Amino acid sequence: EAQVTQNPRYLITVTGKKLTVTCSQNMNHEYMSWYRQDPGLGLRQIYYSMNVEVTDKGDVPEGYKVSRKEKRNFPLILESPSPNQTSLYFCASTPGQGARGGYTFGSGTRLTVV
């Protein structure tokens, strides 16, 4: 089944403790992206990647890092999480720039930073 898989689904952590949220897609998509969703603010893009080793900032990149060493994986790294990063996170992929199809989203990771 074609899908984007995120792990974990739920995570509670403490301020300052580094964490990684994994994202993997099995569709050979070139483009991947991370979004966060907050009440009243909607979905906002954090980072995106157009292909292996090509990443760039989205609208709200502060406090996050990403890497794209393999086409299928696009982990989101929080080096020193803070309470304002408590949010619902989604990873998404699509075949590539200019692709006319839709995006496939993961099921989400609900992160709480205390």
Question: Given the rule CB under 8 A, which residues bind other proteins?
Answer: 4, 31, 33, 37, 42-45, 48, 50, 56, 58-59, 88, 90, 92, 94, 96-108, 110
Closer to other proteins by Cβ: residue 37 or 73: 37
Tell me how crowded residue 51 is: count the other CB atoms within 10 A of its CB. Answer: 14
Closer to other proteins by CB, 8 or 16: give it: 8
Where is 66: in which H helix or E strand? strand 65-66
* Residue nearer to other proteins on the CB measure, 16 or 76: 76
Task: Give the DSSP letter of residue 17.
Answer: -
**Closest distance to other proteins from the beta carbon of 21 (Å):** 14
